[in-house]
Amino acid sequence: MEPVNSAYFFIMLLACSVAILLYRYTITLKRFLNDFVKISKKVSNKEFHSRLETSARGELGKLSRNFNFMMETMANTIEEVEYKHLQLTSVLKSISHGILVLDIDGNIILINDEARKIIKSKCIGNEEGKNIRQVIDFKEILREIEKYIGSKENDSYSLKLEDETVYKLKIDPVYLQNSKNAIIGSIINIENITEIVKLENMRKDFVANVSHELKTPLTSINGFVETLIMNEDLEVSKRNRFLAIIQKESNRLKRLIEDILLLSSIENKDNLVTENIALYNVLKEVYEIVGYIACSKNIELDYCFEDENIKIQANGDYIKQLFLNLIDNAIKYTPEGGKVVVNQFVKNDEIIIEVIDNGVGIPKEDQNKIFQRFYRVDKARSRSVGGTGLGLAITKHIVNSLKGSICVESELGKGSKFIVTIPTKIS
């Protein structure tokens, strides 16, 4: 072969080899790019666990491995963020108060279900990112929250509505990390404190009532003791009359203190020992105690027990107190010659006890108030018959502790019927 021809042949061979190599490289590159497009599409569809084929040699293999490593790191980070978010939403959901987190423009960053309910959200489930004015339908709360947007101070406010519902709003500013000046929003904690306020008012009323009730007999005792001390030569009849008053008032004090202690022990369920109690036996014991009072007023005391063997799981002293309070009241508020009857029967799996009298009766407007502590229809009458105003409150607490209920039917001047309903099976 001539030298020119062999050079030409060599160049052709080289060109063919380069062309083949280029062709193969182009095919590999195209396959890689196709793969890359497919995987990136999957990633944009949040399939963060998709990976590139890493068998390619050289730079493409390196690029695939780096890409896969980057994807793995990203998938882990996203998983962590999602887990943290899940934790945060679970915590928020479990908080029994309403929690609302706002930015300094009043846009909602976070909100929990309780807050949604309280603020009467106009877009349940889609509040985040929206402004409170678009979301909150509860005008009074919106007005309050608007005052605190961007506030640097911790604050709290009680909002009392016309229907007696009371909300407590507690506002805490959210500071940018490590900065005591840059506020990025506020956390608003909304709590329905209606029950707490009611209980607190009841406690205040109770303390005021107890003090008043204790003060009255004490003042009287004090006055008569002073008179006796200052007048040593007082006539015997007067002295005896004063001593009788002192005795009566100190008995009243004793009864009051006993009733207050009993009420508090029922409320706190102190030493509550229960046993299987035969109601009929308790009634007979109570009749022995009150029998002589009824007799002295010539009141006929009767009973009609459907089942004399009926028993309930309860505290014996409480059941005795329940019968005693109702029957004692029936005798106290029935004039001489009247009649008091106790009925017992079972209806719809419930034990019914009725205490019926034909006494003075209770006006309609007082009928649901008489179960309140210290409420008396006629204060003077109650005092004169030795009442403390706590008997029915104690009875109601006892009935409640048995998961039962008590009500009264009464007509002024004709008599009253107290109806106690107790489930036959007390859980």
For ligand ADP, the closer CB: 321 or 329: 329
Compute CA distances 387 → 147, 339, 362, 394, whole Å.
53, 20, 16, 13
Q: Which is nearer to ligand ADP, 71 or 370 (CB)?
A: 370
User: Can you give the binding site for ligand ADP, defined by CB under 6 A?
Assistant: 325, 329-330, 333, 357, 359-360, 362, 370, 375-378, 382, 387-393, 416
CA atoms within 13 A on the CB side of 92: 19
Asked if residues 359 and 339 have their Cβ atoms less than 8 Å apart, the reply is no
Q: How far is the CB of 256 from ligand ADP (least distance, A)?
A: 10
| Cα–Cα distance list, 161 to 141, 166, 196, 197, 230 (Å) | 10, 6, 15, 13, 57
Which of 64/358 has CB closer to ligand ADP? 358
Work out how close the CB of 139 gets to ligand ADP at its nearest, in angstroms, rounded to a whole number. 42
DSSP string, 232-247: TT--HHHHHHHHHHHH
Q: Provide the minimum distance between the beta carbon of 312 and ligand ADP in the complex, in angstroms, as a whole number.
A: 22
Bridge-based pairing of strands 300-305 and 339-347 is: parallel
Question: How does 258-280 read in b/e, with b if 16+ C-beta sit within 10 Å?
Answer: ebbebbebbeeeeeeeeeebebb
Closest to ligand ADP by CB, 290 vs 370, is: 370
- Residue 172: what residue type? D
Distance CA 60, CA 28 (A): 9
Nearer to ligand ADP, 193 or 362 (CB): 362
- Give the number of other Cβ atoms within 10 Å of residue 295's Cβ: 12
The DSSP letter of residue 94 is: H
| CB-nearer residue toward ligand ADP: 98 or 338 | 338
Closer residue to ligand ADP (CB): 1 or 380: 380
Of the candidates 395, 352, 401, 360, the residue with the CA atom closest to the CA atom of residue 375: 395
Do the beta carbons of residue 101 and residue 174 sit within 8 Å? yes
State the nearest-atom distance from the C-beta of 166 to ligand ADP, in Å: 29
Name the minimum Å distance from CB 107 to ligand ADP: 56
CB of 397 to ligand ADP, least distance (A): 11
Q: How far is the CB of 119 from ligand ADP (least distance, A)?
A: 42
